[in-house]
Chains A and B, each alone.
Chain A
Amino acid sequence: KAGVTQTPRYLIKTRGQQVTLSCSPISGHRSVSWYQQTPGQGLQFLFEYFSETQRNKGNFPGRFSGRQFSNSRSEMNVSTLELGDSALYLCASSLEAGGNQPQHFGDGTRLSIL
């Protein structure tokens, strides 16, 4: 069974630009969550999508948004990029919604803002 796939693996952008990251969950998994990982703040929850609906949202500004498609694939968008957005962005999938079950993570997209 293929794992969670995130594309691209690496991305370099400049301040003010926008970026879209993609995540394909494990087949059959309907929940997709996004996290930001930095050395300073650790792993922080961004949002969770289930059945194409955002179920939960973390404490991030509105520049961070996402969506989920009918095949459970998800995209995350960050607009008006800032230097502080440089991070590893991780996607995780699980069978059902909620943080009370194991999540399966992809290897992330490393976003660098110049």
Chain B
Amino acid sequence: GENVGLHLPTLSVQEGDNSIINCAYSNSASDYFIWYKQESGKGPQFIIDIRSNMDKRQGQRVTVLLNKTVKHLSLQIAATQPGDSAVYFCAETPGGSYIPTFGRGTSLIVHP
């Protein structure tokens, strides 16, 4: 939604480049992770998820990598397009919990 991009880390790329958005999570008990994309004026949209028994998962043009050792999650977007411009959030859910915790988000700007 509007104003979500204020004070957020920003990644600026050229159309066609690959983008990597990083997320450090805090809870070692988290076993479910998810990436959302939020365009201005809209709600978050599911991109891809991964459970802690995996370290990589691929979707269409997107790949999520999970490093449990250093509690790090990344989202790779191949051949980034102007339509990929948005704020990207990671979220973690601890095992046995029903409450996801969202990261602060990264603003991705794709230049044509």
Which A residues lie at the B interface, using CB under 8 A? 4, 37, 39, 42-45, 48, 55-56, 58, 88, 90, 92, 97-108, 110
A55-B1 in contact (CB<8A): no
CB pair B41 A102 closer than 8 Å:
no
Q: Is the CB of A45 within 8 A of B100?
A: yes
With A88-B1, A108-B1 known as contacts, the answer to whether A103 contacts B102 (CB < 8 A) is no
Count of chain B residues with Cβ under 8 Å from any Cβ of A? 30
Q: Which of A55, A97, A102, A108 contacts B34 (CB 8 A)?
A: A102
CB of B87, distance to nearest CB on chain A (Å)? 10
What are 22 A-B residue pairs whose CB atoms fall within 8 Å in the complex?
A4-B43, A39-B7, A42-B102, A42-B105, A45-B100, A48-B98, A55-B98, A56-B99, A88-B1, A90-B43, A92-B44, A97-B98, A99-B91, A100-B51, A100-B98, A101-B49, A102-B46, A103-B100, A104-B46, A106-B43, A107-B41, A107-B42
Complex formed: what's the CA distance from A4 to B42 in Å? Answer: 12
Q: Which 7 A-B pairs have the closest CB atoms?
A: A105-B43, A99-B100, A43-B102, A99-B93, A100-B32, A102-B46, A98-B98
Is the beta-carbon distance between B103 and A110 smaller than 8 angstroms?
no
Set of chain A residues within 8 Å of B7, measured between Cβ atoms: 39
Q: Is the CB of A42 within 8 A of B104?
A: yes
With A48-B98, A100-B93 already in contact, the answer to whether A110 and B44 are too (CB < 8 A) is no
- Interface pair B98/A56, CB less than 8 Å apart: yes
Inter-subunit contact B46/A90 (CB<8 Å):
no
Taking the complex as formed, is B18 at the interface, i.e. its CB lies under 8 A from any CB of chain A? no
Whether A37 and B99, one on each chain, are in contact in the complex, defined by CB atoms closer than 8 angstroms, is no
The chain B residue sitting closest to A41, CB to CB, is B104
In the complex, what residues of A have CB within 8 A of residue B103's CB? 42
Are B43 and A108 touching (Cβ within 8 A)? yes
Tell me the minimal C-beta distance from B36 to chain A in angstroms: 8
A103 to B46, CA, bound (A): 7
Q: Which of A37, A45, A105 contacts B45 (CB 8 A)?
A: A105
**Contact bitstring B3-38, A, C-beta under 8 A = 1, else 0:** 110110000000000000000000000011010100
Choose one: A37, A48, A99, A100; the contact of B1 (CB below 8 Å).
Answer: A37
